Structure 1
Amino acid sequence: MKNVWITGDALVTPLGFSSGENFANLLQGKSGLKEIMSPVSGFSTWASFLSERQQKKLDEMTPPVFETRFEKLLFLPLKQIIEEGNIDPRSSKTLFIFASTKGNIELIGNENVKPEQLSLYVSVLKISRYFGNPNKPIMISNACISGLVVQITAMKLLENGEYDTILIAGADTVNPFILEGFNSLLALSPEPCRPFDRDRQGINIGEGGAAIMLTTKKPENGIQSLIEIKGGAITNDANHISGPSRTGKELAKAAELALNQSGIVSGDIDFVSAHGTATLYNDEMEAKALTISGLSEKPTHSLKGYFGHTLGAAGLIESIICIHSIRNNVIIASKGFENAGTLDHINIVTENQYQPLSTCIKTMAGFGGCNAAICYSKS
């Protein structure tokens, strides 16, 4: 089995336009969440979205061929890792894989928009062609686990030797369609979200873009600490179109399979980066899953209190923070947590925790009953 190395990453979020800037702001406890009012129904919630200044900066840093916020949030982090990694994206041994849930949905209702502009594949094909890649890109839209599914898919393709480098990018945006949709499910919190807390009231939506470079070619130098994807797995509980399993067994199964692939036992995991959406059912289910998996005593956090729920980009954004946490030997505190709010006890990190780190497991769950887990390790 070939090793799959993470040799580049980039983030564009309300907390910064690079991975380093985002991580530094997390260490300081800064959040991108701010109050927002729906322009359609007029309800108030909190979300993490680009400021006007940041939007202008994003516009200035992207070519005019990319017209929407979604496409720009996909393009810019990709551009960063390609330039910093000094690779040729035109190689036939390089593949692009993308993740999103709604893509250009911000265009819906615009009478001047052509139907094909709402196609996820049209957007990602435009980006891969811009970089001159000869291969057909892969577009994965698998609800909120999309950001892990793209990594697991890339890992399998690299292990099979079909490619030697895969560039992954994911993005989603805050827009009226998303806000109204989650409000109709009574899932939005009227205050900053509080994952796993007794008084949690629901999710906050977030937007952002992320990119990761994976390769089977081990770098010789230039990277602070080499991180590799050791294993990953996907399961489905088929419980409900928008509600997770009530038992946690299916997410626990994904974690078990990921650990088995990695050759790691639960006792060797240093910390858990949980999905932690701050909804009643997700957090309860996830606490059960971690208990079943033997991970309940491991330091655990959710990053939703900083980024909000960035939907199809969440798995990538939060994975990049895992990577930087391992490299810097610090577990980011779980923002918004004060009092235990799940029946099964889990060890929520309430302050940044500095300790030697080598391994972590990232978990996600999504609509349609999908679950995913992935393991990272420092070499």
Structure 2
Amino acid sequence: MRRVLVTGMGMISAIGENVQQNHQSLRGGRSGIGKAAFFESLYAASLPFGEVKLSNQELKRMQQLETAPGYTRTCLLADKAFCEAIADAALTRGQLSSLDTALISASTVGGMCLTDQLYQDANHKSEGSEFLESYGCSAHTLKLIKRYRIKGFTDTINTACSSSANAIMLGARLIRSGRVKRAVVGGVDSLAKYTVNGFNALKILSESPCKPFDVNRDGLNLGEGAAYLVLEAEELTAGKKVYAEIAGFGNANDAHHPSAMSDEATGAIRCMREAIGAAGIETSQIDYVNAHGTGTQNNDQVEFFGMGELFDKMPPYSSTKSFTGHTLGAAGAVEAIYSILGIVHSELFPGLNVSEPIGGPAPVSQWRGEYPLNYVLSNSFGFGGNCTSLVFARV
């Protein structure tokens, strides 16, 4: 079976405009969670967010899209991260347009980041804006397809918070099975009234920076961002820079509740076990877990319990959502890149704001260098119980 290798990465988040800036922030323990400057909402003044530190106009200039119609913030963030990833992998226009190249993206809010404009257009209160074709979950994917002339298999996944982890999994499966030779995979989400109001109704938004796996955790912070990885079959990578291998993946759905995980961690345990099994390794070989770790009461307790059930000895773990906020459909890909950075640079990245851990062992609380990582497990658990785990391996 073909090995699937990562040859390119691109991202933008609250802690950096590219992979290098994100890495520097992780090393320095610099969180991007704070007061929103561009997001217009009743809650912008009272709640902290993981907002990208660029306006839409700045993003348009950066991507040379000043005159391009119908680009929502979701589309702009996706284009920025996608562009960095394909440049990093040195993909040519011909390779991007090849039928052997797939694009699998993910999002939860899509173009509904323009919540007010959508309301105006949908209720005939406007004459029709430039965004009429931009509200769907797949609108950003269609923009990428058109701009970069992608002709192979394409898809957009929405499985809530596990969306882009599932995009990575699908891309790896397509390559392993020989259906494609390479895949650009990832996801994007931007801050939106639609999601902020929805999460507020669930009463799981914190009024302070989130503290995953802390006894006194009181909710999550919503964030935004985009991240893409270029996956290629091993035979294409001779002489190329290679970051890591997609060694294993697992997906399970406990179907317990629309927005909560089962106390028994049924789906979480199963997907972690499947991912480790697919990688052909033992649980004891996992050197670090990039936990889903949202900072909510239910999620953190269930994930911690699930890891305790799976591992005889708990490996180091932490949640990098304390840096970026919960980027929803982008989270799986954002945290995949963080996991790979840890492998490449032999580093452990900390979870922030933990003063009283929910149990032992405590999550990693400080950056650690010269810490070799051979296998990293990254968890992404979505609403409806859709749970996905990925295993990344050193090459």
**Interval containing the TM-score (normalised by the shorter chain):** over 0.9
Change (3 A) 1:296 1:38: farther
Quick one: which amino acid aligns to residue 52 of structure 2? L
- 1:181-200 matches, cutoff 5 A: 181-200=198-217
**Cα deviations by residue, 1:131-173 (Å, 9 ceiling, x for unpaired):** 1111252010111001210011111110111110101131101
- Kept in 2, the 8 Å contact 1:33–1:46? The answer is yes
TM-score, normalization by structure 2: 0.91
| 2:238 alignment partner in structure 1 | 220
| 1:173 alignment partner in structure 2 | 190
Change (3 A) 1:38 1:117: closer
**Cα deviations by residue, 1:55-83 (Å, 9 ceiling, x for unpaired):** 44312122243521100111111112222
- Kept in 2, the 8 Å contact 1:291–1:346? The answer is no
- C-alpha separation between the residues in 2 aligned to 1:323 and 1:85? 15
Structure 1 vs Structure 2: percent identity of aligned residues?
Answer: 27
| 2:5 alignment partner in structure 1 | 5
- C-alpha separation between the residues in 2 aligned to 1:189 and 1:278? 9
| 1:78 alignment partner in structure 2 | 82
**Contiguous gaps of at least 5 residues in structure 1:** none
| 2:367 alignment partner in structure 1 | 352
- 1:317-336 matches, cutoff 5 A: 317-336=334-353
Number of equivalences = 375
- Kept in 2, the 8 Å contact 1:11–1:208? The answer is yes
- Kept in 1, the 8 Å contact 2:33–2:49? The answer is yes
| 2:31 alignment partner in structure 1 | 31
Q: 1:4 deviation in Å?
A: 0.2
The structure with more strand, counted as a fraction of residues: 1
- C-alpha separation between the residues in 1 aligned to 2:294 and 2:43? 23
- C-alpha separation between the residues in 1 aligned to 2:245 and 2:283? 18
**Cα deviations by residue, 1:205-259 (Å, 9 ceiling, x for unpaired):** 0001111000103523352x64101110110111110111111132111111111
| 2:393 alignment partner in structure 1 | 377
Change (3 A) 1:263 1:119: same
- C-alpha separation between the residues in 2 aligned to 1:295 and 1:107? 47
TM-score, normalization by structure 1: 0.94
- 1:222-371 matches, cutoff 5 A: 222-223=240-241, 226-294=243-311, 297-342=314-359, 345-354=360-369, 355-371=371-387
Which of 246-255 and 114-123 deviates more?
114-123
- C-alpha separation between the residues in 2 aligned to 1:75 and 1:197? 36
- 1:88-237 matches, cutoff 5 A: 88-110=95-117, 111=120, 112-113=128-129, 115-218=132-235, 219-223=237-241, 226-237=243-254
- Kept in 1, the 8 Å contact 2:102–2:183? The answer is yes
**Cα deviations by residue, 1:90-124 (Å, 9 ceiling, x for unpaired):** 11111111011111112223124465421123431
Q: 1:17 deviation in Å?
A: 1.6
**Contiguous gaps of at least 5 residues in structure 2:** 121-127
**Cα deviations by residue, 1:4-61 (Å, 9 ceiling, x for unpaired):** 000000111122121111111110011110035973367721111123x554431212
- C-alpha separation between the residues in 2 aligned to 1:130 and 1:151? 22
* 2:76 corresponds to 1:50: no
Change (3 A) 1:229 1:147: same
- C-alpha separation between the residues in 2 aligned to 1:151 and 1:26? 22
- Kept in 2, the 8 Å contact 1:361–1:374? The answer is yes
